[in-house]
């Protein structure tokens, strides 16, 4: 569970179950926010500790505009590529390879559950490079890796759809040719 209203509901259920007098809603809400914040801090620290110094430098460089570029690599990661078509399959394949070369995200789910990964990626996606840069290191690294991982999944999904769509078109063409 991650959404504060869900957490508040669970807290209320447990208090009622134990026959405790219910505190003011604002008290429960504050406690839930505090606990949620503490859990996130632990996740950030745990994940950040799993990154090498080199990996952290790679992530920090994503937030800088490289010489000769106009935008950061973070902005490139955050871009929503055009709708996938068979003509653009090379672009999607190149994008996936680039995303995978940035950082190996395979150990991410060992530390953070998929729901949190999606939540952190969505938060990172909604921010500008400077906002991410202003975050404390453990949170910044966690959000960046979650975003990279989610963009890798998106690119893989798009490629699968392209291949499936392309195969479907080939089958339809073959059926037309065999009838004609």
Q: Which helix (H) or strand (E) holds 23?
A: none
Of the chain, the percentage scoring pLDDT greater than 70 comes to 86
Instruction: Indicate if 36 and 1 belong to the same structural domain.
Output: yes
* CA-wise closest residue to 62 among 129, 126, 127: 129
- Shared domain for 135 and 154, answered yes or no, is yes
In terms of domains, do 89 and 146 share one? Answer: yes
- Residues 101, 31: one domain? no
Domain containing 121: what range? 51-179
Whether 116 and 156 map to the same domain: the answer is yes
What does the alpha-carbon distance between residue 126 and residue 27 come to, in Å, rounded to a whole number? 29
The pLDDT tens digits of the residues spanning 23-45 come to 888 998 898 889 889 989 999 99
Same domain? For 21 and 91 the reply is no
Residue 174: CA count within 13 A, CB half-sphere:
6
Q: What is the pLDDT of residues 89-108, one digit of tens each?
A: 888 888 899 999 998 888 77
Together in a domain, 66 and 2: no
Residue 128: the pLDDT is 94
Considering the domain architecture, whether residues 97 and 132 belong to the same structural domain is answered as: yes
Sign of CA dihedral 104, 3, 42, 73: positive
pTM to 2 decimal places? 0.79
């Amino acid at each position: 569970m991650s959404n504060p209203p869900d957490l508040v509901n669970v807290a209320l259920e447990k208090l009622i179950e134990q026959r405790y007098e219910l505190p003011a809603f604002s008290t429960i809400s504050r406690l839930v926010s505090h606990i949620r914040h503490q859990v996130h801090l632990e996740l950030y620290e745990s994940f950040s500790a799993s990154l090498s110094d080199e990996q952290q430098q790679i992530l920090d460089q994503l937030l800088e505009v490289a010489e000769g570029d106009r935008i950061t690599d973070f902005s490139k990661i955050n871009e929503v590529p055009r709708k996938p078509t068979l003509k653009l399959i090379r672009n999607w394949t190149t994008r996936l390879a680039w995303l995978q070369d940035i950082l190996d995200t395979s150990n991410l789910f060992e530390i953070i559950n998929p729901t949190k990964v999606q939540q952190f990626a969505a938060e990172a996606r909604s921010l500008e490079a400077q906002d991410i840069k202003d975050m404390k290191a453990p949170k910044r690294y966690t959000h960046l890796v979650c975003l990279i991982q989610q963009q890798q999944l998106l690119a893989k999904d798009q490629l699968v759809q392209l291949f499936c769509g392309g195969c479907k078109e080939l089958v339809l063409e073959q059926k037309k040719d065999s009838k004609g």
